[in-house]
Amino acid sequence: MSSDRDKCISQLCSAIKLRLTVKFACRGESFYKEFDPYVVYYLSSDLTMLEGKASEGESVIDINLIDDLCILNKPFNPDPKFRSLPQEKYPHVICAIDRV
């Protein structure tokens, strides 16, 4: 794992634990999006995903595409129905809002 990816995972897991919104740009885009992170998980050794809620609804993002991530001092209330199961959808969970 690259140190940039490790740092991104660490920041995202901190935001999940603290239930804080994050802000980032996706590689190739010039605008930032605010995002409520729910779960970070591996799909494969080189593919790590972030799932959560953005203003346009639920979203899934490859964290390798995240640039300039920062944690905002903006708490969010997660959907109480969210579960980081079944294992078929979230095979290798790193951190999740329902596991903190």
**Domain assignments of the chain as residue spans, ordered by start:** 3-99
Q: How far apart are CA 97 and CA 93, in angstroms?
A: 11
Q: How confident is the prediction for the chain on average, in pLDDT?
A: 90
Higher pLDDT, 55 or 71: 71
Of residues 100 and 66, more confidently modeled: 66
pTM (2 decimals)?
A: 0.90
Q: Where are the alpha helices (DSSP H) in the chain?
A: 3-18
Please name which of 9, 36, 4 lies closest in space to residue 21, comparing C-alpha atoms: 36
Q: What was the pLDDT predicted at 1?
A: 46
Can you name the CATH fold of 3-99? SH3 type barrels. (2.30.30)
Q: What is the per-residue pLDDT across 19-45, written as a single tens digit (0 to 9) for each?
A: 999 999 988 888 899 999 999 999 888
* Nearest one of 51, 46, 73 to 61, comparing CA atoms: 51
pLDDT digits (tens, 9 = 90+) for 43-65: 888 899 999 998 778 889 999 99
